[in-house]
Structure 1
Amino acid sequence: MIRTEIKVETMVNEIKKTEDNVISTLGDIKRAVADFTDMFADMRGNITDEMLKRGDEIKRREKSLKKRFEETRNNLTSEIDAKKEDFIQIQGKLEQPPIAFYAHHVKDLVFDTANKIFVFEKTFTIEGTGYDTSTGIFTAPVGGLYQFVVHACARYSKYAYLGLVLGGNVIAADSNYDDETHGCNNFGAMVRVNPGAKVWVKSTSSGSVHQLHQNQYRMNTFSGVLVNY
């Protein structure tokens, strides 16, 4: 009987010990689950924060790229429009007829008045419009860079004082005298001329000892050509 009680008590103790071990193990498992749950929650929070940060960074980069794209597109559009305008202007200039004249034979050779305009009344070359053989004045139909040349011959023992005039101002001048023969000189200028500006040849001095000369061997000429727009 005593042995049976001892055996039962031993079994009860072992059962209690086993129960305590089970309870302890369940507690460990519960704590482990709680720790894992907390760790997972932290990881999920960290992952969410990182994803949000990356999302914000992607949005910022996307916004920056869109801005740069718009700026580049606007700049290219402006450049294309400017080039298009330049092309239109160049095309318009290319469509302009050539402008040139070469006139000769002075109507009145005597320097009888100061600032007299010499009229070269005949032409070898007329391209475009501008030179008037009745007045001796060239009126620029378009603005640009022009080359003008005057060839003038003074009668022997007479003086020739001439000036090339642009818009009322002398831009080139020449004096000529020879007491033995009829002497000829060239003078001129390359100058930028505005549309509608006038160019002519005039006397810069006058009197009875001033006179030009022309014959089959000597010609007085006035020429001009548009070199570039």
Structure 2
Amino acid sequence: MIRTEIKVETMVNKIKKTEEKVISTLGDIKQTVADFTDMFADMKGNITDEMLLKSDEIKRREGSFKNLFDETRTNLTSDMETKREELTQLQEKLERPAIAFHAHHVVDLLLNTADEIIIFTKSVINEGTGYDTSTGIFTAPVGGLYQFSVHTCTLYKKYAFIGLVLEDNVIASDSSYDEDYYTCSSFGAIVRVRSGEKVWVKSTSSSSSRQLVQDEHRMNRFSGILINN
């Protein structure tokens, strides 16, 4: 009986010790879980804060990149538009025909015939072959904006009344006179001329007192150039 009690007591002690170990182990596990939970929370907080910082940095960089992209796109668009305009202007210049003439030397210096065409017989340049040295008439090869210039010299004690004519309409005129010396004067006009229209120089007032003069110091001349078509 005594032996049995001793065995029972021994078993109870073992059970108590085992129970204490289990409770201690459970406490350790609980503390470990609590520590791990706190550590995970801290890690989560740190990760969240770091992610937020990274997110803000990414947003900031996205904003900077967007601004840089918009600025670059604007500059490129402006540059492309400028280059397009330059190419258009260059193309227009390449497509524009070269029309220009410069003629001088008048054979008939007397201006005693009504509406007499003044013929400049020597051609220095005649791009586009619009000017005819035999008639003194310029025929526009293409329509456009032209500039014409006339220079004449008058004998002393003589008059000269000169007109620039477009299709029988005087578009510019000049007169000159001097009692004692030769005198020279220039005039001109910028006018739109249609293809095939004619331009010439004539005496707008004719009589025996009208006369031009020319020598190595004085040159009568007629010129024109296509400015834009």
TM superposition score normalised by structure 2? 0.61
Going from structure 1 to structure 2, the CA distance change for 1:20 and 1:215 (only over 3 Å counts) comes to: closer
2:108 equivalent among 106, 109, 121: 106
- Secondary structure, aligned partner of 1:80: helix
- In the TM superposition, what whole-angstrom CA distance separates every residue of 1:88-140 from its partner, at most 9, and x where no partner exists? 334455x7365322241238631x54xx2433163353522232345533345
Q: Is the 8 A contact 1:155 1:213 kept in 2?
A: no
Q: Distance in 1 between matches of 2:31 and 2:71?
A: 59
8 Å Cα contact 1:147/1:188 also seen in 2: no
Q: Indicate the RMSD between aligned Cα atoms, in angstroms.
A: 4.5
Cα distance, 1:217–1:46 mapped onto 2, change above 3 Å: closer
Change (3 A) 1:161 1:26: same
What is the DSSP-based 3-state SS (H/G/I as helix, E as strand, rest coil) of the residue aligned with 2:163? strand
Q: Does residue 154 of structure 2 align to residue 153 of structure 1?
A: yes
Q: Taking structure 1 as reference, are residues 165 and 98 closer, same or farther at Cα in structure 2, changes over 3 Å only?
A: closer
Q: Which residue of 2 aligns with 1:75?
A: 78
How many residues are treated as equivalent by the alignment?
209
Identity %: 19
| Aligned-partner residue type, residue 104 of structure 1 | V
Distance in structure 2 (CA, Å) of the matches to 1:145 and 1:174: 23
Q: 1:74 to 1:121 in 2, by over 3 A?
A: closer
Report the 3-state secondary structure (helix = DSSP H, G, I; strand = E; otherwise coil) of the residue aligned with 1:149: strand
Residue in 1 that maps onto 2:202: 202
Of 176, 184, 187, which aligns to 1:186? 184
Q: In 2, distance between residues paired with 1:102 and 1:218?
A: 13
Alpha-carbon distance between aligned partners in 2 of 1:81 and 1:72, rounded to the nearest angstrom: 14
8 Å contact kept, 1:138–1:199: yes
Following the alignment from structure 1 to structure 2, what is the Cα–Cα distance between the partners of residues 97 and 170? 20
SS at match of 2:104: strand
- Structure 1, unaligned stretches of length 5 or more? 1-14
The answer as to 2:36 corresponding to 1:33 is yes
* TM-score (norm. length: structure 1): 0.61
* Corresponding position: 1:49 with 2:52: yes
Equivalent pair of 2:161/2:173 in contact (CA under 8 Å)? no
Give the whole-Å Cα distance in 2 for the aligned partners of 1:215 and 1:224: 17
Whether 1:138 aligns to 2:138 is yes
- Quote the offset at 1:188 in angstroms: 1.4
